[in-house]
Amino acid sequence: MRQVLLACALATAAMGISAAAIAVDKPAAASQATATDPLQQAIAGSWRDPKNSARDRYRHPVETLAFFGVKPEQTVIEITPGSGWYSEILGPVLRERGHYIAAVPDPMAVEAGRSRDSRQKSKSSLEAKFAAAPAQLDRARVVAYDPDAPTFGAPGSADVVLTFRNVHNWRAAKQAEGMFRGFFAVLKPGGVLGVVEHRAAKDVADDDKSGYVGEQQVAAMATAAGFRLDAKSEVNANPKDTRDYPGGVWTLPPTNDHDAKDDAKYQAIGESDRMTLRFVKP
């Protein structure tokens, strides 16, 4: 992929990062994947939920996973995969030579009630998805972690840790610092942490409820845990996103928390503007 050096020294100097060491990936130089590549085959797979496939134009899975350096022989842990959007792709890609692990919040780590029920429902739904596509997802694993004391596997056992649009939730719950330390612990030296997150125009307050996070805030949390910011990509950028909606990022697709009369307006904007950051464990 074609890369250019980032010239924004002031923004990175505050975190002790050398600007010359950070590359920006050009979206136009996206992917060299072909129909015979495992990643391209998985994205075209008939087992994928059609509603998920329809979002490829916003989530750019080929370019995003290529930027994070995901390879079929790796051990990849996806943190809080939700309904399994990326599981449908990563499970088959890693099935033969690698390992795909979906790390979900442990239902038993909270008291009985709505929170436990919600976690259990999410975990059971993901397990059902894997069971329904045995030829592609039978070797995918679901593991549970406690967000207040996260452990994702044996130290140094993973090649890649991925998280998509979760950091704002961890910040709100005051769990972000522990999560990033957990990512660092489970990765091998040289391992990659890939983060995609709704991008605020600037740093946001600790009690911000918009769903957006400042790019420098995410980088600061990762570097505090020991990571080095290796590269950025604009593949998931959306300049149409003004980030000023009454319902926060959930106003936009895919949540569409807005009045029906405004649907055309928000569909024209599309999904949120997102940062795509690649960190490396030294």
Tell me the CATH number at 69.
Answer: 3.40.50.150
In a domain, 24, yes or no: no
Range of the structural domain that residue 181 is part of: 35-229+240-280
CA distances from 35 to 29, 41, 43 (A): 18, 6, 10
Interior CA angle at 276 toward 275 and 281, to 5°?
125
Residue 157 confidence class, pLDDT cut points 50, 70, 90: very high
User: pLDDT for 81-123, tens place per residue?
Assistant: 999 999 999 999 999 999 999 999 999 999 999 999 999 999 9
Q: How confident is the model at residue 221 (pLDDT cuts 50, 70, 90)?
A: very high
Percent of the chain with pLDDT over 90: 87
Give me the number of domains the chain comprises: 1
pLDDT mean over 183-195: 98
Count of CB atoms situated within 10 Å of the CB of 108? 11
Does some domain include residue 160? yes
Residues 66 and 39: beta-carbon distance below 8 Å: yes
**pLDDT score recorded for residue 259:** 96
pLDDT higher than threshold 90 for residue 10 = no
The pLDDT mean for the chain works out to 91
Q: Return the pLDDT at 13.
A: 38
Does 134 reside within a domain? yes
In a domain? residue 23: no
Residue 163 resides in a domain: yes
Which of 18-22, 60-64, 141-145 shows the lowest per-residue confidence on average (mean pLDDT)? 18-22
pLDDT-derived band at 41 (thresholds 50, 70, 90) equals: very high
Is 195 inside any structural domain?
A: yes
Residue 115 within a domain? yes
Is 130 a member of any domain?
A: yes
User: Residue 35: its pLDDT value, please?
Assistant: 53
Coil, helix or strand for 219? helix
The pLDDT of 228-238, averaged and rounded, is 98
